[in-house]
Amino acid sequence: MNETIICAVGNVATQPVYRELTTGPSARFRLAVTSRYLDRGKNEWTDGHTNFFTVWANRQLATNAAGSLNVGDPVVVQGRLKVRSDVREGQSWTSADIDALAIGHDLARGTSAFRRTPRPETGAAAASDRPEPNWETQPAEDVSQQAPEPAAVT
């Protein structure tokens, strides 16, 4: 319930690794997030420290991420932050993972062509068998025939 939700803007650092698991599709990649600041002495923008996160995606997000992302792509990732520490072979290490809820290309730094993925057919009636809903507003008929005459005020 008290999870840390973050939004990280950075670049894809490794090619996404896609796996089909018994629990469903899973994908992971490394995200490089570099801070930038204005160096007032040089009057130019300078790169600061780079943080690396391992981004984990599951189910349809994993499938779409593996098919859409490449090394170097600028992305925005929203998800749950998970910081893990461990000791292996006498060495301690800490990693910061993001359990992704949403991933998208950063449109401030380029363009992207969105394609909706087809949903698997479920149930007896296929989506193509259902009638298309009529979202148009019905044209107004002659208002004088619909509205009652106002009552006389006494």
Confidence of residue 115 (pLDDT cuts 50, 70, 90): confident
Tell me which architecture the domain covering 5-110 has in CATH.
Answer: Beta Barrel (2.40)
CA–CA distance from 147 to each of 61, 137, 140, 141, 150 (Å)?
52, 19, 12, 11, 9
As a whole number, mean pLDDT of residues 116-143 equals 62
* Domain positions in the chain: 5-110
Residues 13-42: tens digit of each pLDDT: 999 999 999 999 999 999 999 998 998 998
Q: What confidence score (pLDDT) does residue 148 get?
A: 55
pTM listed for this prediction: 0.71
As a whole number, mean pLDDT of residues 58-80 equals 95
Q: What confidence score (pLDDT) does residue 119 get?
A: 72
Q: Quick check: 83 and 94 in contact, CB under 8 A?
A: yes
